[in-house]
Amino acid sequence: MSGSEAPNHTADLVIVANRLPVDRVVNPDGSIEWRRSPGGLVTALEPVMRANDGAWIGWPGGTDEDLEPFVEDGLSLVPVHLTEAEVEEFYEGFSNATLWPLYHDVVAKPEFHREWFDAYVTVNRRFAERTADVAAENAMVWVHDYQLQLVPAMLRELRPDLRIGFFLHIPFPPAELFQQLPWRRQLLEGLLGADVVGFQRPGAAQNFVRLVRQRVGHKTHRDMVYLPDGRTVQAGSFPISIDVKGLEELAHSEPVQQRAKEIREQLGNPKRVLLGVDRLDYTKGIRARLRAFGELLEEGELDVEDAVFVQVATPSRERVEQYRVLRDDIDRLVGRINGDLGRIGRPAISYLHTSYPREEMAALYRAADIMVVTPLRDGMNLVAKEYVACRYDGEGALVLSEFAGAADELRQAFLVNPYDINGMKASILEAINADPKSLNKRMKAMRKTINEHDVSDWASSFLDVLSETKPMHRKQLRP
């Protein structure tokens, strides 16, 4: 292992997330190194981590070793160990086969298993204990996402001196769906351990406050919850963003521009390149989108000589049954559309399971005339924002689901209902046939929006609200 051991009890800012921001790589000679994982969260939080003597607590992936805290590239990393059974029950089970589908409008059926919830409690407690060990007196702790909703209350119990924030990256469902959950009260009380509970959209914050009033019986007013012990919890929306400048710069670079040209050539220089980029997930609406495109070809509205759909779908969570089924489904659909409608050297859909470096992603965005983002439900959807960031020329069109958080901000996209295949077909055609001037106007407006709010604004807006929470709202200081 590279890096040195991190001392305990010293971090003034602690980030708690399911995964550490690094991936473990085993070199051919057997030596081990840690490589920074690409995610936007690391980019957003790295500067504040460095400025505040921060530590990051998370699962390093794998189940082999129980690793000691270490420092990598100046960042203090604190691994939380999971056993094989916990990966199955806490991560693949309760997190990804219960909460994920339930929070995404039950687009797949959530499974409820008591032993999965028991594992969720055990693992959340381990995260809370690790955090309590690492956080300095009066530190700020920022807990992330649906895998760790019990951590805020568990941590407050151990360390009432801390300021605790929680941010949910995925949607928070309406009461009608949330109350199916046998453990609804435990989860709400878990979240209420935080001083600030952040969501992607205002509607999600409202759902949370309403549920707290109905199910836990606390007093609420607008976004505030008043607890019997005098503490308050503030809910709010903090829409996440991307590193707009960094990505735009990359898109501007000579190699990326060159590569974008090359991609279009390799696709046979069609008039129109349509693009979809998603984790292979049933929430992303990949099936309906490809069906819409297939039907446009079938009906002669589009021709494979002129239009190609590039769909990048990175497999994820492959040990969860519904994800395996989805992968087979999409494989079959792509095969059928290409078999029925493609010609020699002209597949209708260019379908890729590859995970690409940032440069290649930027080149794909540069190469695409129409970006098609049609999730059935999505907390935010960063792909939509990444596409806009790469279109510094003002060209290109974005077709975007109304049910993605991004639709609140990117109002000038071609907004679609992803359940309405005819509507989606009409919007794709509208985007294809729009005159360049009107596209330019739409893109400029969307670029203005994302330029005004990038990922570091997102992080600082949350941390500012958290740091303003008053110490008197904390129960009592640690003796």
CB of 279 or CB of 287, closer to ligand ADQ? 279
Rounded least distance, CB 284 to ligand ADQ, Å: 8
Rounded least distance, CB 442 to ligand ADQ, Å: 20
Query: 125: burial class by Cβ within 10 Å (0-12, 13-18, 19+)?
Result: middle
CB of 409 or CB of 474, closer to ligand ADQ? 409
Rounded least distance, CB 10 to ligand ADQ, Å: 28
CB of 132 or CB of 240, closer to ligand ADQ? 240
Rounded least distance, CB 226 to ligand ADQ, Å: 29
Rounded least distance, CB 441 to ligand ADQ, Å: 25
Kindly report the CA angle at 12 between 11 and 17, in degrees rounded to 5? 70
CB of 132 or CB of 368, closer to ligand ADQ? 368
Rounded least distance, CB 250 to ligand ADQ, Å: 12
Closest CA relative to residue 446, chosen from 377, 394, 371, 374: 394
Residues forming contacts to ligand ADQ in the complex (CB under 6 A) are: 40, 169-170, 240, 277, 279, 312, 314, 354-356, 361, 378-383, 386
CB of 76 or CB of 98, closer to ligand ADQ? 98
CB of 266 or CB of 355, closer to ligand ADQ? 355
Rounded least distance, CB 132 to ligand ADQ, Å: 26
**Pairing of β 232-237 and β 224-226:** antiparallel
Give CA–CA dist 425/414, Å, rounded. Answer: 11
For residue 460, give both structure tokens. 């600082």
CB of 297 or CB of 382, closer to ligand ADQ? 382
CB of 154 or CB of 376, closer to ligand ADQ? 376
Rounded least distance, CB 374 to ligand ADQ, Å: 12
Tokens 């590279």, located at residue: 2
Rounded least distance, CB 136 to ligand ADQ, Å: 27
CB of 195 or CB of 378, closer to ligand ADQ? 378
